[in-house]
Amino acid sequence: MNQREQKECVMLAAGLSSRMGKWKMMMPWGAGTILDSALSSALSFCDRVVLVTGHRSDELAAYYENHPAIEILFNPDYHDGMFSSVQRGCAAVQGRRFFLALGDMPEVGIDVYRALWSCTDERSCIIPRYNLGKGHPILLPRGAIDVIQRATEGSTLKDVIKELQTSIISVTEQGIHWDIDTPEQYAQLAGRL
């Protein structure tokens, strides 16, 4: 009997929100928070989300601990930057491929996840593109985990992606570009709701 492949997502929510000036993950967004919205889209498609926390991790753990499809994973090295959270989250992946998403991107819809997953190339990093710009989430093959884990100190996700075979697919959602890093971005994007 052929078992259905589990759809997994590593979602990063460990940062300090230094450019925002205050913690952004739990800022209001729609009927919930920025992170609620990002998680909702991922969970609408994925069976499991590994939520990588760091700054204010206890609050996120308490808020999401009872959700059966969310695994909270604390990154003790979150002060070292986003890539340390990528490395920490990837270590928890169980499947043949997985999404890597950002918790500060509340306008990524389920159709982006569907489009990436429908790509039959299971050896490449699948990157969404809207108009001329690439965005997030991305879909990574399990083989990328070794590249991520052996990356040298100071490496970034972009550095790792350069080492991988990539495939770009067009999507119809500009939300793949909308991460919220500053008060100005928050005001601009919240005004679209």
pLDDT tens track for 63-95? 999 999 999 999 999 999 999 999 999 999 999
pLDDT of res. 132: 82
> Does residue 30 carry a pLDDT above 50?
yes
Of 17, 10, 1, which Cα lies nearest the Cα of 138? 10
pLDDT band at 3 (very low <50, low <70, confident <90, very high): low
> Does residue 169 carry a pLDDT above 50?
yes
Q: How far apart are CA 24 and CA 6, in angstroms?
A: 30
CATH number of 8-190: 3.90.550.10
pLDDT of res. 2: 45
**H helical segments located in the chain:** 34-45, 57-64, 82-90, 110-118, 144-149, 157-163, 183-190
pLDDT of res. 193: 73
28, 64, 118, 142, 171 from 139: Cα distances, Å: 28, 24, 11, 10, 14
pTM of the model: 0.95
Say if CB 78 and CB 54 are below 8 A apart.
yes
Say if CB 51 and CB 72 are below 8 A apart.
yes
